[in-house]
A and B are shown apart, each in its own frame.
Chain A
Amino acid sequence: MRPAIRLLDDALIARVLGEAFQLLSNPGIQVGAAEARDLLASSGAVVEGERVRIPEVLAQTCLGAAPREFALYDRTGSAVVRYGGDAVHFDPGSSCVNILDGETRARRSAETRDLIRLTQLAEVLPQFDAQSTAVVCSDVPAPVADLYRLYVVLAHSSKPVVTGAFSGETLQGMLDLLALDAGSPAALRARPRAVFDVCPSPPLQWTNFAAHNMVRLARAGVPAQIVSMPMAGATAPVTLIGSVTQHAAETIAGIVIHQLAAGGAPVVWGGAPSILDMSTGIAPVGAIETVMLNLACAEVGKHLGLPTHGYLVASDAKLLDAQAGAETGISAVLGALAGINMISGAGMIDSLACHSAEKLVLDAELIASTRRLLKGVETPTSTLATAMFASLPKEGFLASRETRALFRTEQHLPSAVIDRGNYQEGAVDDAFSRAHDAIPRLLASYSRPALNPALLAGFAELLARQAAKFGVTFSPPTHDNAAPLHANLR
C-alpha cells in the first residue's frame, strides 16, 4: 500500500465547499478585468461594479468542465509531468529576488549567472521533474524580466517549466516564446511545456492583471496554475479551516473565469497558503500550520477531482542550518503523502525571499527519500522472509542473491551529500559544505541542449522586441556561464 495522509474528512470538505459557494455569491469576488466580468455576466453571474456574485450552479458547471488530468511535456515531446490523481512531482521555488552566495554564504541580489546555475542543477538532478523560472535576474530591466528568465531556462533545459508572467502586458511575449520553442501555437497547445502560476489577491479578489491572464492562458490552451495565498490571520480568517474555505472560493472563482474563457482548458488547483507569524508579521513557509494549510487546500482540490499544487520544501531559516533541514524535510514528506501533483519551493530559504543552489542539492536528497517513502513497504519476494532464510549463504545476508538483486529498490542510496560515514577526526563538515562541494561535480555532468540556431535567433528577436516595446535598453550579461547566451543575443 502507498502511505497517505489526510487532514479533512469528506463531511468537512463538503462544509468547506458549501461555505466557499456562499462566499462566491456573498460577498462575491472582486474582478478587475472587464473582459472577465463580461464573460461572467453573460453566464449568469451578477456583476455590480467590480464585484461579481457567482451562483453555485455556474461554479459547479465550470468545475465540471475543468480537465481531471493533463501532462507537461519535455523538449523531446515526452509527457514527463502528469497532473492529476496522486502523482507527485517537485520543482524548485520560483521568482526569488535573492540568492545565498555559495562562496560567501551571504545573501545578495540574484543575477543571470545564478538562474543559469540553478537551472543546470535542476536539469541534472533527477528528483526535479520540472524546472521553475527560479529567480528574477537583477541584471536585466524589469519590463523584460519575466520573459528573459523563461528564455534563460528554455535555453538551458529540456524539462517542463513552472513559470508566470509579472504583468498583463508581458504574458503574450512569454506565450510567443513557448510557441517558438514548441514549433507553433498549435503545437504548444497540444503538448504544453510550461504551466503559468496566476495569483488571486486575498481576500476574494482577482485583479485586472490576474483575471486577464487567466482568460489569455485558457484561450492559448496553456495550463494555468491558480496560486491562491490566503495568509491566516492577516488576509484570511485566522482558523486554518477558514483560510482553506477562502482559498476554495478564490480558486473556484479563477476556474470559473478560466473555463468560461475556454471550456476544458487545463487548470490546476494550486496554492501557497500560509499563516501570519504573530510576532514578526512574515508568512512563515516552514510553519507546520502553513504545511497543514497546503495539504488541506490540496485535499479540497483532490475531492473535486482536479490537478493540485502546493508550496512546500522551503524554510524560513536564513542559512542551511538545522531549522532549514527540519522544515524542508517535514514539508516534503507531508506534501508527498498528501499526493500533491506539483510541489514547488525546493531551494528556497528566508521565507521564499532567497534561493540557494546548495539547498537545491540537499533538497534533492530529501525528495529522493520522500519518493522512497511513497513507494511504501513492498513485497517483492514470494515469501516475506522464510525463503531467504532457507537459501541463506554462510557469509550471511550481505552475500545473498536477493540482497544483491533488491537492495537498489529496497533502499534509496544517497549521494555523498548525506553524511553516513564513520566519525573521522579532523574531517567533519556540515551539509552546506558537502552540497557546495557537490555542485562542481553535478555541473560537470550537465550539457546544454542542442537548440536549433534559428530557434535561438527567434528567442533573441522576441527579447529585443519586448525590450523595444517597453522602451528599455537591454544588453545581455557577460558572466562566464552566460557566454552562450551572450553570443546568441549579441
Chain B
Amino acid sequence: MEEEILSRMRRSIVDGAPQHAAALAQEWLQSGSEPLHAINDGFIPGMRHVGEQFGCRALYLPDVMAAAEAMKAATAVLEPEIQRRGLKRGVRGTVVLGTVQGDIHEIGKNLVGTLLIAAGFRVIDLGCNVAAERFAEAAEQAGADAVGASSLLTTTMVRHRDVIAAMERRNLRPRVKIIVGGAPVTGKWSAEIGADGYAADAQRALDLVKRLVAPSAGDAP
C-alpha cells in the first residue's frame, strides 16, 4: 500500500501534475504516515528521475518546470506537518538567486532555480532588478550556502561587484559562495571580481553549485 502510493508520488512529479501531487501528499498525511518519508522516497526520486531525463534530452525545460511545480505543491502540503513534528527536511543546500539591479532579464536565472529545486536545493528567488544589499540580507536571513547573481547586459554586469561587496560587509564571505551568470559573463570576469564561479548554462550552474556546496551527510539526492 505504502509502496504503491510512493510510486504514484514519483509518477505525479514526472507527469508534472501539481494537483495530483498535492492530493497524494494529503492522502499520506491522513493515513498518519511520516511526512519526510513521502518527500525522500516518493517525491524526490521523481525529481531525480526528471533531472536525469533532462540531462539526456528525454525530457525538456517545460517538463522540468512542471515537475518543480508539482514538487512545490506536494511540499506545501507536507511542510506544516514536518514542522509540527519538529522534523527537519534534508535539503542539499540553500541558494539565493536574483537578477542584479537595473536588469529585468530573468529567464536564465529562473531555469537555474528550477534545476536547483529539481536537484533538492532550497531556492530563494528574489526576482529581477535586485539591489546588492537585498542579496546579502536574504542570504543572511536564510542561512544560505550560495548566492547566484545574474545579468544579461554588459552594462549591468558590473553590479556583480556590488553584490560581492555587500556580502563582505555582512561577513558572509567566504562561507557563502557567490556564483555569477548571464550572457556577457565569463569565467575570466568571475575570477576578476572574486566570485566563486561562473557557469555558461543552467545545467552547468547546477553542477557548479553541487561542487561548491558540499551536501551534508544523509541528505536527499
- Which of A's residues lie within 8 Å of B, judged by CB? 97, 109, 136, 142, 145, 166-167, 201, 207, 231, 233-235, 276, 278-282, 353
Which one, A145, A166, A235, A353, contacts B107 given CB within 8 A? Answer: A235
Residue B186 at the chain A interface, CB threshold 8 Å: yes
Assess A278 versus B108: contact at CB under 8 Å? Given A142-B154, A142-B158: no
Give the complex CA separation of A400 and B184 in angstroms. Answer: 57
Give the complex CA separation of A201 and B107 in angstroms. Answer: 13
The reply to whether B104 and A278 contact each other, CB–CB distance below 8 Å, is no
Residue B76 at the chain A interface, CB threshold 8 Å: no
Assess A282 versus B201: contact at CB under 8 Å? Given A97-B154, A166-B155, A201-B104: yes
Q: Which residues of B contact A201 (CB under 8 A)?
A: 104
The reply to whether A278 and B62 contact each other, CB–CB distance below 8 Å, is yes
Q: Which residues of A contact B62 (CB under 8 A)?
A: 233, 278
The reply to whether B107 and A281 contact each other, CB–CB distance below 8 Å, is yes
Minimal Cβ-Cβ distance residue in B for A138: B154
Give the complex CA separation of A123 and B62 in angstroms. Answer: 44
Give the complex CA separation of A282 and B183 in angstroms. Answer: 9
Give the complex CA separation of A142 and B201 in angstroms. Answer: 25
Assess A231 versus B61: contact at CB under 8 Å? Given A97-B184, A142-B155, A282-B201: no
Q: Which residues of B contact A235 (CB under 8 A)?
A: 107
Q: Which residues of A contact B203 (CB under 8 A)?
A: 280
Interface residues of B in 144-170 (CB under 8 A from A): 154-155, 158
Give the complex CA separation of A257 and B184 in angstroms. Answer: 30
Q: Which residues of B contact A167 (CB under 8 A)?
A: 155
Interface residues of B in 195-215 (CB under 8 A from A): 201-203
Q: Which residues of B contact A234 (CB under 8 A)?
A: 107
The reply to whether B108 and A281 contact each other, CB–CB distance below 8 Å, is yes
Q: Which residues of B contact A276 (CB under 8 A)?
A: 61, 107
Minimal Cβ-Cβ distance residue in B for A281: B111
Q: Which residues of A contact B158 (CB under 8 A)?
A: 142
Give the number of residues in B that approach A within 8 Å (Cβ atoms): 19
What are 30 A-B pairs with beta-carbon distances under 8 A? A97-B183, A97-B184, A109-B186, A109-B188, A136-B154, A142-B154, A142-B155, A142-B158, A166-B154, A166-B155, A167-B155, A231-B107, A233-B62, A234-B107, A235-B107, A276-B107, A278-B60, A278-B62, A279-B57, A279-B60, A279-B61, A280-B201, A280-B202, A280-B203, A281-B61, A281-B108, A281-B201, A281-B202, A282-B201, A353-B183
Interface of A is mostly: loop
Give the complex CA separation of A231 and B61 in angstroms. Answer: 14
17 additional contacts, CB 8 Å, given A142-B158, A233-B62? Answer: A109-B186, A136-B154, A166-B155, A167-B155, A235-B107, A276-B61, A278-B60, A278-B61, A279-B54, A279-B57, A279-B61, A280-B203, A281-B108, A281-B201, A281-B202, A282-B201, A353-B183
Minimal Cβ-Cβ distance residue in B for A207: B104
Give the complex CA separation of A197 and B203 in angstroms. Answer: 32
**Total CB contacts across the A-B interface at under 8 A:** 39
Q: Which residues of A contact B186 (CB under 8 A)?
A: 109
Give the complex CA separation of A279 and B111 in angstroms. Answer: 10
Q: Which residues of B contact A166 (CB under 8 A)?
A: 154-155
Interface residues of B in 99-139 (CB under 8 A from A): 104, 107-108, 111
Give the complex CA separation of A167 and B186 in angstroms. Answer: 23
Question: How far apart are A210's CB and chain B's nearest CB, in angstroms?
Answer: 12
Give the complex CA separation of A233 and B54 in angstroms. Answer: 17
Q: Which residues of A contact B202 (CB under 8 A)?
A: 280-281
Q: Which residues of A contact B155 (CB under 8 A)?
A: 142, 166-167
Give the complex CA separation of A68 and B85 in angstroms. Answer: 71
Give the complex CA separation of A97 and B182 in angstroms. Answer: 12
Give the complex CA separation of A437 and B60 in angstroms. Answer: 42
Question: How far apart are A147's CB and chain B's nearest CB, in angstroms?
Answer: 13
Q: Which residues of B contact A136 (CB under 8 A)?
A: 154
Question: How far apart are A442's CB and chain B's nearest CB, in angstroms?
Answer: 29
Minimal Cβ-Cβ distance residue in B for A277: B61
Minimal Cβ-Cβ distance residue in B for A205: B104
Give the complex CA separation of A263 and B37 in angstroms. Answer: 67
Give the complex CA separation of A97 and B183 in angstroms. Answer: 9
Q: Which residues of B contact A145 (CB under 8 A)?
A: 154
What 1/0 flags go to B28-55 for Cβ under 8 Å of A?
0000000000000000000000000010
- Between A280, A281, A282, the greatest number of chain B beta carbons within 10 A of the residue's beta carbon is seen for A281
* 6 closest A-B pairs by CB: A278-B60, A281-B111, A278-B61, A97-B184, A234-B107, A281-B202
Give the complex CA separation of A167 and B102 in angstroms. Answer: 11
Give the complex CA separation of A365 and B60 in angstroms. Answer: 37
- Between B104, B107, B203, the greatest number of chain A beta carbons within 10 A of the residue's beta carbon is seen for B107
Q: Which residues of A contact B201 (CB under 8 A)?
A: 280-282
Q: Which residues of A contact B183 (CB under 8 A)?
A: 97, 353
Question: How far apart are A392's CB and chain B's nearest CB, in angstroms?
Answer: 59
Question: How far apart are A272's CB and chain B's nearest CB, in angstroms?
Answer: 14
Give the complex CA separation of A81 and B120 in angstroms. Answer: 55
Give the complex CA separation of A422 and B203 in angstroms. Answer: 45
Q: Which residues of A contact B108 (CB under 8 A)?
A: 281
Q: Which residues of B contact A280 (CB under 8 A)?
A: 201-203
Give the complex CA separation of A276 and B202 in angstroms. Answer: 13
Q: Which residues of B contact A142 (CB under 8 A)?
A: 154-155, 158
Give the complex CA separation of A97 and B154 in angstroms. Answer: 8
Give the complex CA separation of A278 and B183 in angstroms. Answer: 17
Q: Which residues of B contact A231 (CB under 8 A)?
A: 107
Minimal Cβ-Cβ distance residue in A for B201: A280
Minimal Cβ-Cβ distance residue in B for A136: B154
Q: Which residues of B contact A109 (CB under 8 A)?
A: 186, 188
Question: How far apart are A375's CB and chain B's nearest CB, in angstroms?
Answer: 38
Question: How far apart are A142's CB and chain B's nearest CB, in angstroms?
Answer: 6
Question: How far apart are A279's CB and chain B's nearest CB, in angstroms?
Answer: 5
Give the complex CA separation of A103 and B152 in angstroms. Answer: 28
Question: How far apart are B193's CB and chain A's nearest CB, in angstroms?
Answer: 14
Q: Which residues of B contact A282 (CB under 8 A)?
A: 201
- Between A166, A231, A278, A353, the greatest number of chain B beta carbons within 10 A of the residue's beta carbon is seen for A278
